[in-house]
């Protein structure tokens, strides 16, 4: 076996919402962004550029697609205190970040539970082409009962696109 240099990979984990990295980030003395900066693309473009200069492999966004009601707390509390809500769609943001970077990977979570397969494939293929092959899709299925109502569906009936139902998973 050849002597190879050991490598490790770095990824910046983000959420596209008011608490874009850490719930307590606002307390850090070097956090200089204004309170309303989370919804401005310049913040994320800056983060992507800094990560690219630091030789990170990717910038990755988690996406929830629902308002959390963890620990039996009503949805109003999550909205009042901006605990990972609201969140914007990540695809336009990734294209804006791609426009100011050259090499860093740009990834996001995208649930397939309530999206048509053709739409999801077309969307990610387009993003992959626009970024020169730098798009990374974290394919997931939905896990939270609050996501179904946001997609105007019952929790027990995700989009199956005409595929036979498997009652063992219902």
Segments making up each domain of the chain, as ranges: 11-169
Both tokens of 135, joined, read 């798009």
Domain boundaries 11-169, corresponding CATH code: 3.20.20.30
- Going by C-alpha positions, the residue among 73, 99, 68, 104 that lies closest to residue 86 is 68
- Looking only at the bridges linking them, the beta strands covering 135-140 and 11-15 are unpaired
Contact 14, 61 (CB under 8 A): yes
- The model's pLDDT over 73-94, given as tens digits with 9 standing for 90+, comes to 666 766 676 666 667 788 999 9
- The model's pLDDT over 42-79, given as tens digits with 9 standing for 90+, comes to 888 998 999 999 999 999 988 877 666 665 666 676 66
């Amino acid at each position: 076996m050849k002597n190879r240099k050991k490598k490790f990979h770095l990824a910046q984990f983000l959420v596209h919402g008011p608490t874009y990295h850490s719930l307590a980030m606002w307390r850090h003395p070097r956090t200089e962004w204004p309170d309303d900066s989370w919804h401005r693309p310049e913040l994320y473009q800056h983060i992507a550029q800094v990560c690219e200069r630091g030789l990170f492999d990717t910038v990755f966004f988690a996406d929830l697609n629902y308002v959390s009601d963890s620990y039996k707390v009503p949805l109003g509390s999550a909205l009042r205190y901006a605990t990972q809500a609201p969140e914007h769609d990540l695809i336009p943001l990734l294209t804006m970040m791609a426009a100011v970077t050259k090499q860093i990977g740009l990834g996001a979570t995208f649930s397939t539970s309530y999206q048509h397969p053709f739409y999801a494939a077309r969307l990610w293929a387009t993003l992959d082409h626009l970024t020169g092959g730098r798009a990374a899709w974290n394919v997931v299925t939905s896990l939270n009962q609050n996501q179904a109502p946001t997609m105007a569906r019952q929790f027990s009936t995700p989009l199956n696109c005409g595929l036979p139902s498997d009652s063992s998973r219902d």
